[in-house]
Every structure is written in C-alpha cells, then in structure tokens.
C-alpha cells in the first residue's frame, strides 16, 4: 500500500509578511519540500514575499524549494470555463508528477498561496482534482489574510452596510455588467473595469496593499476614476506588475 502524500496549503497573506498567522508560521516549519508554481505576472511579488517569509520565520535549514512552471492559461470570453478546465488538467498532471518525484516517504509538502487559498486561487481545486483521480493526498489548509481584508483595514471601513450583502467578483464581470449588489469587491481587474461603473458610486481602491509601494484612493467614482486609471498605469510601469482591489458601494449609507 502506498502512503498518502502529506500536504499543507498555507495562506501567506496578501503581500505583507506581518500578515502571516501563528498557525501559518508553525505550518511553514513543518514542511520538508515547498512546491512553488511560477505564476507569470505575480512572479516578482510572490518570490520576494516568499523569500522574506522563509528567512524570517523558518527556523529549520533542511527544507527544499521545488520551483516549476505552470502551463500558461489562454483566456477568451467565449471559452473561459472550458479553457480553465483544460488548463487545470495540465496543472494537475504537473503536480501529480512532482509529488511522486519529490516527496520521499513521511515527508511533508507545502504549497504557499498569496493571500488565502479560498479566494481566487486554484491550489485547492488542483488537490481536489488529484484526489478525484484516485491519488492519495492528505491535506490541510491554513488560512491567510486576503487582499479584501487588507484593503478594508487600510481604508478603515466595513465592507457592508448594516445587514447588507457583499459581492466578491472580477473586473471582467463588472465590465460585463454582471455585478449587482450594494457592496461590490472587485479583484483581478486587468482592464480598468472601474471606469464602467456608475459615477455616483463610492470607491475604495488599493494597489499593492500592505506592501512598501502601497497606493490608496477613495472618493466618489466620478471624481477619482481618472486618478485611479493613471495610478494603475504608473504602478505597472514602475513595478512591472500590479495587484489592485476595490470596493464599490452605493453612497450615503451609515456604516455598521
């Protein structure tokens, strides 16, 4: 009987090493082999945070890092869901091979995830897919501070008005008019989708939240949307990548 692979998926927090939880630090120190997917645009940020975190919080010296390429994802509006499925299969093949190859008996594998694994991250779906294929994996998930929590804290706001719902969505869906809620949190906006929303909404925007190059802008969307577009461009030019998140809400509500 082959033993199950032992894996821990660790939320690192969305960019600031101080976001790491005590539980995450303990989990980091339990890992023998870290599996590090190379994810295109976020690569530079991810590498920096990972190195800082490992240096600062891991007390053992006998762990290894296994870096690997993730097959690129080809997106188009028409085949968004199928292309994600096909891509996930390729990624699963990659992980299956790596786990078999790199983890010795009784060793623990670790997957470091930006923010929290439960939000716009594919790691848990990959593991579910592997288990569904019959690969024995025993895995645990350690939560981290998401970009959403970091954004709200930096703007010192609650996401919801009293008793109201909050919608978490993508820039693509906002631009397509598929976001209708009193409070909308937008992530993964690659195309200035905020400019498509109604001018009288309030926006709380943040790029590189929690990081040294953090930029925050808040106000009536009609008044600040051009500034946000400009700052996004400047950030991308200066850093080579950008991660930003924003809350859009109807104006004039009392906060909880």
Question: Binding residue for ligand SAM (CB under 6 A) from 188, 196, 216, 218?
Answer: 188
What is the number of other CB atoms lying within 10 angstroms of the CB of residue 27? 21
Element (H, E) at 121: none
In the complex, minimum distance from the CB of residue 4 to ligand SAM, in angstroms, rounded to a whole number: 26
In the complex, minimum distance from the CB of residue 107 to ligand SAM, in angstroms, rounded to a whole number: 26
210 binds ligand SAM (CB under 6 A): yes
Element (H, E) at 26: helix 22-28
CB 129 within 8 A of CB 69: no
In the complex, minimum distance from the CB of residue 59 to ligand SAM, in angstroms, rounded to a whole number: 26
**How far is 19 from 3, CA to CA, in rounded Å?**
34
Question: Binding residue for ligand SAM (CB under 6 A) from 187, 193, 203, 228?
Answer: 187
Q: Strand 202-207 relative to strand 244-249: parallel, antiparallel, unpaired?
A: antiparallel
Please identify, using beta-carbon distances, which residue of 116 and 202 lies nearer to ligand SAM: 116
**How far is 162 from 157, CA to CA, in rounded Å?**
12
169 binds ligand SAM (CB under 6 A): no
Q: Contact region for ligand SAM (CB under 6 A) — 50-58, 116-124, 134-142, 218-226?
A: 116-124
CA-nearest of 148, 93, 154 to 120 is 148
Question: Binding residue for ligand SAM (CB under 6 A) from 142, 174, 244, 247?
Answer: 244
**How far is 151 from 53, CA to CA, in rounded Å?**
21
Question: Binding residue for ligand SAM (CB under 6 A) from 24, 33, 46, 121?
Answer: 121
Q: Contact region for ligand SAM (CB under 6 A) — 64-72, 102-110, 126-134, 144-152?
A: 144-152
**How far is 226 from 147, CA to CA, in rounded Å?**
23
Binding interface with ligand SAM (CB under 6 A): 14-15, 114-116, 119-121, 146-147, 150, 187-188, 206-211, 243-245
């Amino acid at each position: 009987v082959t033993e199950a692979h032992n894996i821990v998926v660790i939320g690192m927090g969305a960019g600031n090493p101080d976001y790491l939880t005590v539980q995450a630090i303990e989990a980091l120190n339990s890992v023998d082999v870290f599996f590090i997917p190379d994810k295109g645009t976020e690569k530079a940020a991810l590498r920096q945070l990972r190195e800082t975190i490992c240096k600062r919080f891991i007390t053992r010296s006998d762990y290894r890092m296994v870096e690997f390429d993730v097959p690129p994802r080809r997106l188009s509006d028409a085949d968004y869901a199928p292309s994600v499925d096909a891509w996930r299969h390729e990624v699963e093949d990659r992980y299956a091979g790596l786990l078999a190859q790199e983890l010795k008996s009784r060793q623990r594998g670790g997957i470091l995830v930006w923010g929290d694994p439960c939000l716009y991250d594919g790691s848990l779906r990959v593991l579910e897919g592997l288990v569904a294929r019959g690969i024995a994996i025993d895995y645990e998930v350690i939560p981290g501070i998401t970009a959403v929590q970091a954004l709200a804290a930096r703007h010192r706001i609650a996401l919801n008005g009293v008793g109201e719902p909050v919608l978490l969505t993508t820039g693509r869906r906002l631009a397509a008019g598929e976001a209708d809620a009193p409070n909308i949190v937008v992530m993964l906006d690659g195309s200035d989708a905020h400019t498509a929303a109604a001018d009288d909404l309030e926006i709380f925007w943040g790029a590189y939240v929690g990081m040294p190059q953090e930029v925050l802008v808040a106000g009536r969307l009609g008044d600040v949307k051009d500034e946000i577009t400009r700052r996004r461009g400047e950030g991308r030019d200066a850093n080579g990548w950008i991660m930003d998140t924003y809350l859009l809400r109807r104006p004039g509500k009392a906060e909880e």
